[in-house]
Amino acid sequence: MAVDTTIEAPEVRDRAPWRVRDLVARAWSLNRPLTFLGLAMIAVLAVATAGLVLDPRVITGAPAWLKPAKFAISIAIYSFTFVWLLTFVRGYPRLVRALSWMTVLMLGLEMVVIGGAAALGTTSHFNVSTPAHVAAWSAMASAIVVTWMANLGVGILLLRQRLADRAFLWSLRLGVAVSSVGMGVAFFMTSPTAEQLATARASGSLPMAGAHSVGVADGGPGLPVVGWSTVGGDLRVAHFVGLHALQVLPLLGVALSRFGPAWLGARHRVALVWTAGLSYFGLVALATWQALRGQSLVRPDALTVWTAATLAVVTVAAIAVTIAHARRRAN
């Protein structure tokens, strides 16, 4: 028997007031593992915030508990987004449960390592200074790979779904696809830098393998809160931007579904979603390229500026052509 993957229109037109308690209860009824992870991350955020206030220690130039706080926020958002995304997957209940548990266990493991390292006053990422740190970093790296595979799995399942609002469905698909690319940027961070290899050859030891920054050491001058380097390349920019395609592109789909004008036909809404998706992918690629050249986000060279301007012009032109065509068809 063929699996029915057709799903009804998304509940994006429901204008009832949103209450946090009702949203949490709804999420719990839909996916307990992911909802539990999201709520647990809110609790972790409270602990990390207390650590920021009470613990004066600094790790690689940042407050010891800043990284756990940032990761708790990120994982909470990711968890609740996944709860919502998985409501649009029909016909694969066992696979959905498996992907949910994979995500929960792997992100939970990552948070345990990050929080534990902060408590010990040491780094969690790229730390291979002792066998224990090697084991912790290897566990984190494996967790990242499995989480990436689960994210990709959801994207594949969404490709098999059918939805009356094709533009909204494509916004889900492209959001997952671009977020998978954003996750993949993290793999560039795991290779030892030239400086680390030179130190290893000179000293016979390799305490750190990998870095967020390119061309400069981690922990140098950076933007407030996020810490992105202001003097060299930083792969976290593309990683951050790419990850949040998981929210940005579906929200665009919701906006077009709910607020799109009547003269904007279904095909034109799909075209706009594809334009946004490809442009967002271009932005992630641009941020990755800039970082790999050792160039700070806030200090772009002429080539980066011209490339960004070209991307913006092409995006605006594609949107304008689509809207103009839609208006002509409506008249």
CB atoms near residue 226 (< 10 Å):
14
- Tell me the domain boundaries of the chain: 19-161
Low-confidence residues in the chain, pLDDT < 70: 1-18
Q: Report pLDDT for 202.
A: 83
State the pLDDT at residue 18: 62
d(CA 72, CA 57): 19
The alpha carbon of residue 106 and the mean position of all alpha carbons in its chain are separated, in whole angstroms, by 15
Separation CA 183–CA 70 (nearest Å): 16
Quote the tokens at residue 166: 């094709």
Question: How many Å is the maximal CA-CA distance in the chain?
Answer: 74
The reported pLDDT for the residue numbered 267 is 93
pTM: 0.88
Contacts of 278 (CB under 8 A, 6+ apart): none
Structure tokens at 229: 């380097």
For 127, phi then psi, to 5°, come to -85, 110
For residues 279 and 225, the answer to whether their CB atoms sit within 8 Å is no
Residue 16 corresponds to which amino acid? A
| CB 286 within 8 Å of CB 310 | no
Question: Which CA distances in Å does 57 have to 61, 137, 218, 309, 313?
Answer: 10, 21, 17, 42, 46
**Res 13: pLDDT:** 42
- Size of the chain in residues: 331
Angle at 176 between CA 170 and CA 180, to 5 degrees: 140
The answer to whether the CB of 263 falls within 8 A of the CB of 327 is yes
Give first-to-last CA distance, the chain, whole Å: 45
Architecture of domain 19-161: Up-down Bundle (1.20)
Helix (H, G, I), strand (E, B) or coil at 237: helix
**H or E, element range at 103:** helix 93-120
Name the phi and psi angles at 7, rounded to 5. Answer: -125, 150
CA gap 74, 70 in Å, rounded? 6
Rg value, the chain, Cα: 22
